[in-house]
Structure 1
Amino acid sequence: MAQIDYFFATLSPYCYLAEQRLEEVAAKHGATINYKPFDLIRAFGRTGGTPPKDRHISRIEYRAQELPRQAKKLGLPFNLQPAHWPTNGAPAAYAFIAAQNAGGGDLGKLAHAIFRAVWAEEKDIAEDAVVRACLSEAGFDPELANSGLLEGAETYARNLEDAVEAGVFGAPFYIIDGQRFWGQDRIADVDAYLAGDL
């Protein structure tokens, strides 16, 4: 059975655009997903990337065109300038890790609920009530928002190290058998790889 290491950032608009298509592809091929939330901004500093606010104007302008285009293509509601971005994405990541450890819900649905809260619902994922609502929506105990914070912080930091070591430089990023796929627009390639066509 194939395993997909899925590196994602709770504040990434491109992770939001990925929806749950990775989960659908994994289910189609009987693959498992190893969810690895990580600090993308810190990864940028270690892998040659530039945070959005520090990018050249040409890149900023392109991002402003490309994100709404992709959202429209996918039929997703999208706010290019959400009320609570940037914010502290760590609390949501810690809660995700607690849910991952506890089990009992749908991790793909939880990840998408977090992304959607930022990019479509004008919610602040640094707020406890927002994180709790995302947990509940995905079938997890909302109390997980306040449990395992130390373990969550340690795992979050370890995921960053794993990402840098594995050659991850953006999000969403998928690794299968050492093959790396970057971006929401590479899920079809993940599908083809798992099918043995790539």
Structure 2
Amino acid sequence: MPHIDYFFSTISPWVYLAGQRLEEIAARHGATITYRPLDILALFARTGGTAPADRHPARMAYRAQELRRWSQHLNLPITLRPAFWPTNAAPSCYAIIAAQAAKARGAEGNLGALVQGFARACWAEERNIAEDEVVRDLLAGHGFDPGLADSGLFIGAETYGRNLEEAVERGVFGAPFYIVADSDERFWGQDRLEFLDAHLGRL
């Protein structure tokens, strides 16, 4: 059974535009997914990337056009200047980590939808995903115990840091980033999901 390690940040617009296509692809090929949220700005600093605030205006202008085009192509509404961006991604990422651990213990809940819910809240719903109330609401809305926002703080913080280190070690430099574990085949960007799908089909 193929396995996909999914490295991402909840504040990435490209993670939002990925939607739940990864989950659909995994289901089609019988693949499993481990969600590995990380500090994307720290990843940029470690791997030669540039934070959006420090990029040349020409790059940011093109980025805005690409976001608009992909939004229209995928029929996913997007706010190009969200009210709460950039924001602290850690609380939402901790919640996802805690929810994944809860599922491993047999809890209900839709983890892929939770990831998309946080990204959508940031990029389409003008909600601050750093706020405890928003984190709790999204956990509950996707079938998880909202108390994970508190009880999952320790495992969240520990795993969040570990995910960054693993990402650097395994050649991750942006988000979304997908690695097929057995083959170490790597795919960067929501626009490479079609290639991921084809790769899994050949396994």
TM-score (norm 1): 0.98
- 1:25 aligned residue: 25
Match of 2:184 among 174, 178, 185: 178
Give the equivalent residue in structure 2 for 1:146.
150
The residue type equivalent to 1:189 in the other structure is F
Where in structure 1 do 4 or more consecutive aligned residues deviate above 2 Å?
none
> CA offsets per residue over residues 121-176 of structure 1, 9 Å max, x none?
00000001111111112111111111121211010000000000000000000001
1:56 aligns with 2:65: no
In the other structure, the counterpart of 2:139 is: 135
Instruction: Please identify, of 5-14 and 127-136, the stretch whose mean Cα deviation from structure 2 is larger.
Output: 127-136
- 1:79-98 paired onto structure 2 within 5 Å: 79-98=79-98
Map of 2:198 onto structure 1? 192
Aligned twin of 2:16: 16
Segments of structure 2 that go 5 or more residues without pairing to the other structure are: none
| Partner residue in 2 for 1:100 | 100
Structure 1: 5+ residue stretches without partners = none
The whole-number CA distance in structure 1 between the counterparts of 2:88 and 2:100 is 20
Distance 1:68 1:135 in 2: 28
2:166 matched residue in structure 1: 162
Matches within 5 A, 1:59-70: 59-70=59-70
Secondary structure of the 1:82 match is: coil
